[in-house]
Structure 1
Amino acid sequence: MDWFFKFPQLSPELLLAVTRTVDGSLRTLTRAYGDSIEAFFKPLFYFLVFIENMMSNAPWPIVVFAMAGIAWIVARNWVAVAAVIGTLLLIGLLGLWLDTMKTISLVLSSTLFAIAIGIPLGIVMNRFKNVAGVMRAVLDVMQTMPPFVYLIPVVMLLGIGRVPGFIAVVIYAIPPIIRLTDLGIRLVEKEVLEAADAYGCSRWQKLWKVQMPLAMPTIMAGINQTIMMALAMVVIASMIGVQGLGLNVLQAIANQYFTQGIFSGFAIVGIAIIFDRISQAYGRRLQKHRGAGRD
């Protein structure tokens, strides 16, 4: 009756052989093409260093006023502007300004890359039904995979530092923008598409002049989720040498520094609230314009 209580499994020798084969292949790939892979990602490294230095070395009043200006342009809400200014000033008073700028620079750069890759993939997912099935399966795996797992392959290929952390953040944060771009295009009403066809719009004209503008509120919701996931992954990526607030949290855990952890956690929450409120306010503005256009 052992078979009834003990689940059958593959032989340990077979599992060990498969594990050694896969791990050995990755190590062989790294040894053979490690320099070429590193050279390929060198421009990305310089870009990340440039963005980080620009945010870190800029005078703090300029950064505060620039982010407040962005909040006003996007949200057109004085409450959001006051929240941005107050949060940034409080973060600076806690002595976390430099680490916050490093974290914001990585979140912004990774979000921009995720948007640049995710929106075209969402359009492809909407246009080609055969591709959509495969992409949904891949996105399901990506969204259910524990975030720590993303660190393993990038570390094996690229070591530790900014670039592997950036790649892990982009991969982890990209599924929402892909899914919601596809969803936003699919939610465009059939009557609107029929009217566009009646006016003689081509397929691409209908996409860029009708579907994408009407899908923008849903796409903005995807961008909002991408930003939140990027910020969450930046904290985890501190385990592979990504500097910023995440590294402070990791050090606080390792050394049991309660106050340092609380302050760093507050700064992360503050950044998340800033990005969340601004992106949501912009999404609401787009929905109002969309409703006014219908009227």
Structure 2
Amino acid sequence: MLSPADIVTLPFDDWVNAFVRGWLVPNFRPFFRAAQVPITSVLGWLEAAFLAVPMLVTTALFALAAWKTAGRGMAIFTILGFAFVDMIGLWDDTMTTLAMILTAVFFCAVIGIPAGILAARSNLAWRIMRPVLDVMQTIPSFVYLVPIVMLFGVGMTPGIIATIVFALPPIVRLTNLGIRNVRADLIEAAEAFGSTGWQMLWDLQLPLAMRTIMAGLNQTLMMALSMVVIAALIGGGGLGLVVNTGLGRMDVGGATAGGVGIVVLAIVLDRITQGLAERSGVRGASLRQTLAGFFRPRATAPALEAEKAG
């Protein structure tokens, strides 16, 4: 039997190459150069700050954050884990990786939260965004590196751009989900009391959806951590470079040391952000109870007398 390929063969790869190399890169090179400027600035500032602060001070700050958000055990793990990373000589690489992760997460939040709000408030926008997010989440992470290198070159900033694209979908999806799951009766009550759209968003929907949004931020952070390691293949530094260098030289010990540093950093960041999400959930539940009590219809005098008589 004949297959479609026996009848016609599409030069899809040639089309893509012609589009990217022949039209996109020459015409939009200034835009791609300009897009790197804010990312490079934030990354440079964070990396310089983390490398300038003494190791003991950074460890104490992270241990305090872990204690406040995840408990005493996590604070002890943070101290021991960071001390171990420093003793195996990977402290500077860990701080570089941390700066790359926070830069990527910052821009993911700046882009993703407004996009999620727009998707929650407009069904048309969500129908447009959903297939785009599906493509962003299903394409293998290594595939991102090819167009990123062609459009932005190599280095830490292109690696962060690839990380932003890879880690963006969770925060968009969960911001949309959190806002859409706000109880309809609370929204109707806010509308009945004359709340504007912005008042309802800032004073009602975002506080009640904050736990879900923080869960999306946590997932974005974990995906950013995994992509930052892969981005070392196009010039990204930090622990990803340590792992890739160890693999290239068949240095099992060096690659393992870099992997251990990544695991320690991932656990600490994951537990801190999960603790923040839980705290946001508690505040959201308290606000929900307050609003429910405020908007509950007041009992009439005959009803109160009947309740007392009963």
TM exceeds 0.5? yes
Specify whether residues 140 and 269 from structure 1 end up closer, same or farther in structure 2 by C-alpha distance, changes over 3 A only.
same
- Alpha-carbon shift at residue 69 of structure 1 (Å): 3.3
Percent identity for Structure 1 against Structure 2: 40
Judged with a 3 Å threshold, the aligned counterparts in structure 2 of structure 1 residues 138 and 88 are, in CA distance, closer, same or farther, namely same
Amino acid at match of 2:16: V
Distance 1:291 1:47, change over 3 A: closer
Of 251, 262, 265, the match for 2:256? 262
Note if 1:64 corresponds to 2:49.
no
Residue equivalent to 2:132? 138
Give the AA of the match of 1:8: P
Which of residues 236, 239, 246 is equivalent to 1:245?
A: 239
Distance of aligned partners of 1:160 and 1:10 in 2 relative to their CA distance in 1, 3 Å threshold = farther
- Give the drift of 1:199: 1.8
- Please say if residues 70 and 272 of structure 2, whose CA atoms lie closer than 8 Å, have aligned partners that are also in contact: no
CA contact (8 A) 2:218 2:273 kept: yes
Deviation at 1:227, TM superposition (A): 0.4
In the TM superposition, what is the alpha-carbon distance from 1:47 to its structure 2 partner? 2.9
Structure 1: segments with no counterpart, 5+ residues:
none
Q: CA deviation at 1:40?
A: 4.7
What is the CA-CA distance between 1:290 and the residue it aligns to?
Answer: 2.9
Distance in structure 2 (CA, Å) of the matches to 1:257 and 1:211: 51
Find the partner of 1:216 among 204, 207, 210: 210
Mapping of residues 1-295 of structure 1, within 5 Å = 2-3=1-2, 7-9=3-5, 15-16=10-11, 18-28=12-22, 29-31=24-26, 33-34=28-29, 37-73=32-68, 75=69, 77-293=71-287, 294=289
The TM-score normalised by the length of structure 1 is: 0.91
Larger radius of gyration: 2
Sort the Cα spacing of 1:10 and 1:65 in 2 relative to 1 into closer, same or farther, 3 A: farther
In structure 2, the CA distance between the partners of 1:158 and 1:11, relative to structure 1 (3 Å rule), is: farther
Structure 1 residue 82 displacement after superposition: 2.1
Structure 2 unaligned regions, length at least 5: 291-310
Q: Report the AA paired with residue 155 of structure 1.
A: V
Tell me how large the CA RMSD over aligned residues is. Answer: 2.0
Please, which moves more after superposition, 22-31 or 149-158? 22-31
Task: Kindly provide the amino acid, as one letter, of the partner of residue 211 in structure 2.
Answer: P
Deviations 1:89-143 (A, max 9, x none): 1111111101101100000111011011100000000111111111111111111
Distance in 1 separating the partners of 2:202 and 2:6: 52
- Structure 1 match to 2:301: none
Does the 8 Å CA contact 2:210/2:284 hold for their aligned counterparts? no
Alpha-carbon distance in structure 2 between the residues aligned to 1:22 and 1:156:
12
Deviation at 1:235, TM superposition (A): 0.7
TM-score, structure 2 as length reference: 0.87
Query: How many Å separate the matches in 2 of 1:199 and 1:80?
Result: 44
Distance 2:5 2:95 in 1: 50
Aligned residue type for 1:93 = M
Q: Call closer, same or farther: CA 1:203–1:39 in 2, change over 3 Å.
A: closer
How much does 1:32 deviate?
Answer: 5.4
Bigger Cα displacement from structure 2, 191-200 vs 142-151: 191-200
Distance, in Å, in 2 between the alignment partners of 1:180 and 1:261 is: 34
Larger deviation, residues 256-265 vs 222-231: 256-265
Q: Deviations over 1:53-74 (max 9, x none)?
A: 221232212211222233345x
